[in-house]
Chain A
Amino acid sequence: MSETAPARGFYTEEDMTISVGPQHPSTHGVLRFVVKTDGEVISEAIPDVGYLHRSIEKIGEKVTYHGYVPYTDRADYLAAMFANQAFCMAAEKLAGTDVTRRGEFCRVIACELNRIASHLISVGTFGQDIGAMTPFVHALRERETINNLMEEICGARLTYNYIRIGGVGYDILPETCAKIGEFLNHFEPIVDEFNRLLSGNKIFIERLAGVAVVSKEDAFSYNLVGPNLRGSGVKWDIRRDIPYSVYPELEFDVPVGMAQVGALGDSYDRYWVRIREMQESCKILRQCLQMMPKGPAISKVPKKFRPPAGEYYARVEAPRGDMGFYVVSDGSEYPYRVRIRTGSYTAMSIIDKISKGIMLADLIALIGSLDVDAPEIDR
């Protein structure tokens, strides 16, 4: 260090403060980081959220149970099916409503298709964020087919309002089932193509291996869920461990991070878990198409839906992990309180800790690998 003060603007040792977002392409929606850096090394990245707060929880207190289902779609537009299901599960449990068996299978088929679509967006944009432009187009092409299938199933491409209290809105027709089968035949080799294109790419691996490692202890303490938790080596999946719907009858693996290129719990592990989950979803879909029984898709549910007073916290395994709907009823037509707990919210809270000491470019890899989704954070 020199004795004299450096020329103004040159070689000062002060930290730089940079605002990343709210319109930065890597933030996938609207969220912002106030980043303090020393050169290119981050000393602090403070997340600033709330740009997309739409008070979905407050709306829940003002509409009826049936009327609230379309609102739940908006909690996470990439995986609307899961929010539908979690809310309906909570309402059904409170009122003691049964779901028809065919309804359960329709739910699982719709959910697993939605999971593939959501993971495709996640891995596609992840590649794009760190400079691989082509895989994004491949991923979106496949997602387009799923959107078409969804349109055939329920008439909507993003905000489905498909799963209703007691079952599903529309039965899945045999023609659609055949199309889903065709899609699976087409899609399973695509995953390998995707691996050749992106997962095995040397530059991609070097950008991710050993970057932003989340230990198991941190994953617990910050309550990471879903692929982010499994990326840290915890074999835990709600579909397997707190079974709901017809998942106990289906066979599938729970992929976990294996540290094949870097350290356990690094960005690559989280990415790789998602790729393998898409393959598992294909397996589940094939079994469902075979096992689906005939029968009604929805049970008889009264129009005036009044569950007795009580409370229930329903969990489902959404693409971004444990999605919880805590519904409190006071016996009236309107929920007393609806609380939505999402995976992105807790994933967002860990960024402050993990980003200390990493490069600014790796922050983008961290955000992408956690697969945070702005509307799901803010609700």
Chain B
Amino acid sequence: MDAQEIYASLDKLFPGKVSDLKAEVFEPYLNVDKDAIVEICRFLRSAPGFKFEVLSDLTALDWPKEEKIQVVYHLFSYAHNHQIVLKVDLARDNPKVATVENVWKVANWFEREVYDLFGVIFEGHSDLRRIMLPEDWVGFPLRKDYVEQEEYDGISTQRAPLVEKLLR
């Protein structure tokens, strides 16, 4: 099934919840209303003809100019060998979206990573902790305006260039 058809059926079943289909790009994507993401994912996963059994990837993009953080879902179906990309726009100052952990189990870890590096809160997540960075790390490194703290736990995060060190 191609992106046009997927978009058309979603638009019929969830009126007003999907928008902005970009079909002419390499990988067509569509925007999903953040309140409907779980419903739509559950539908796409199990409805015959769609059968998106796997969540290939879940990540986020930071757009400071538009004041938004986008969560990007890459869905894939082994049964039909087709894929679709869903995007959810969140307010940058308070990014919150419901978890899709109950649809695909792998979302648990993907969402933890997005929380860790972007600070997106996934509501209803069973274990939302940092995964890559220490629990007491300050800030979300993959945001565009991230400034690294000067030291962590008494250890400097900066290092003088090697040449300077040798000349000293």
Binding site for B on A (CB under 8 A): 49-50, 53, 55, 57-58, 93-94, 218, 220-223, 234, 236, 241-242, 310-313, 315, 322, 324, 326, 328, 336-337, 339, 341, 345-346, 348-350, 353, 378
Contact = CB atoms under 8 A, between A and B. Distances in A.
B57 A313 contact: yes
7 contacts: A49-B132, A221-B104, A313-B74, A326-B74, A339-B57, A339-B59, A341-B59
Secondary structure dominating the interface of A: mixed
Interface string B101-117: 00011101100010001
B53 interface: yes
Contacts of A339: 57, 59
B141 A55 contact: yes
Nearest to A46: B127
A218 B108 CA distance: 14
Contacts, number: 79
B1 interface: no
Given A55-B141, A223-B55, A326-B74, A346 B61 contact: no
Interface string B38-60: 00000000000000011111010
Nearest to A353: B105
Contacts of B133: 50, 53
B105 A221 contact: yes
Given A223-B55, A223-B56, A339-B59, A349 B27 contact: no
B72 A326 contact: yes
By CB atoms of chain A within 10 A, which of B53, B85, B132 has the most? B132
Contact of B26 (A241, A242, A312): A312
B27 A312 contact: yes
Contact of B109 (A234, A310, A345): A345
B141 A349 contact: no
Contact of A50 (B25, B27, B132, B141): B132
Contacts of A241: 81
Given A49-B131, A346-B109, A337 B61 contact: yes
A-B interface, 8 closest residue pairs, ranked by CB to CB distance from nearest: A349-B109, A223-B106, A53-B132, A50-B132, A220-B53, A221-B105, A341-B57, A339-B59
A310 B72 CA distance: 14
A107 B83 CA distance: 26
Contacts of A348: 109
Nearest to A352: B108
Given A58-B142, A236-B78, A222 B106 contact: yes
B65 to A, nearest CB: 10
Interface string B70-81: 001010001001
A172 to B, nearest CB: 30
A348 B134 CA distance: 19
B109 A220 contact: no
Contacts of B53: 220-221
A93 B132 contact: no
By CB atoms of chain A within 10 A, which of B55, B56, B62, B142 has the most? B56
Contacts of A328: 61
A341 B141 CA distance: 18
A277 to B, nearest CB: 19
Contacts of B62: 337
A218 to B, nearest CB: 8
Contacts of B26: 93-94, 310-312
B132 A324 contact: no
Contact of A220 (B27, B78, B81): B78
B139 to A, nearest CB: 12
Given A55-B141, A93-B26, A220-B78, A326 B59 contact: yes
A181 B85 CA distance: 43
A234 B141 CA distance: 37
Contacts of A345: 109, 113
By CB atoms of chain A within 10 A, which of B57, B78, B130, B134 has the most? B57
Given A55-B141, A221-B105, A324 B25 contact: no
B132 A378 contact: yes
By CB atoms of chain B within 10 A, which of A218, A345, A353 has the most? A345
B142 A57 contact: yes
A9 to B, nearest CB: 32
A241 B80 CA distance: 11
Contact of A322 (B56, B130, B132): B56
